[in-house]
Amino acid sequence: MPTNRKSRNGSAPELSPPDGGAVLTSSDPTPGAATAPTLVEPHDDVSLVTTTVPDTAGPSLLPPQHDQSRAAAAAAGDAVTAAVWTYNRTVSATWSINETRNAWILVDGVGWKKIFNGTDGAFTALTTLAAQARQTGHAVSFREDGGLVREIYLW
């Protein structure tokens, strides 16, 4: 049990670590125990970075306020074949999964849109802009090409 004690200068109490001093190792069978990192060989780096995610791995649920079926959302996304600009929309949700470069945004009045995943830099920048738009509620304008959001302007 943590205990309170005075700090050296006596100004405020600080929390002391619990007694016992047990150190968890990766061989402990205790659930939630700390595990050691896995060693990744140099030849494994390429496969970790270049793994592509199938386009079918998108969000499986829609937010309750959007009453459109998944089939309708997929059909709307597949219909885009040329570059299309959409102006002054808000991002109401973001979705990602523990797969390489797989994130989606829910644009009000448009539906779920997949973020361009061609390069790490572009993916990181677009995801950051989309998350900032979601957090602040500011309007975005974005360019969609081939079913992927490839450019975002956030004000």
Total count of residues recorded for the chain: 155
SS3 13: strand
**Is the pLDDT reported for residue 119 higher than 70?**
yes
pLDDT tier for residue 52 given thresholds of 50, 70 and 90: low
What does DSSP say about strands 111-115 and 103-107: parallel, antiparallel, or unpaired? antiparallel
- Please tell me the distance from the alpha carbon of residue 77 to that of residue 107, in angstroms, as a whole number: 12
Q: Assess if CATH 2.40.50 describes domain 55-154.
A: yes
Residue boundaries of the structural domains of the chain: 55-154
Tokens of 141: 């304008």
More confident residue, 28 or 120: 120
pLDDT tier for residue 65 given thresholds of 50, 70 and 90: very low
Instruction: Supply the Cα-derived Rg of the chain in whole angstroms.
Output: 23
Q: What pLDDT, on the 0 to 100 scale, is given for residue 82?
A: 76
**Is the pLDDT reported for residue 100 higher than 80?**
yes
Residue in the block written with tokens 């270049």: 50
Q: Are 131 and 94 in contact (CB under 8 A)?
A: yes
The percent of residues in the chain predicted with pLDDT above 70, rounded, is: 48
Q: What pLDDT, on the 0 to 100 scale, is given for residue 109?
A: 93
pTM for the model stands at 0.50
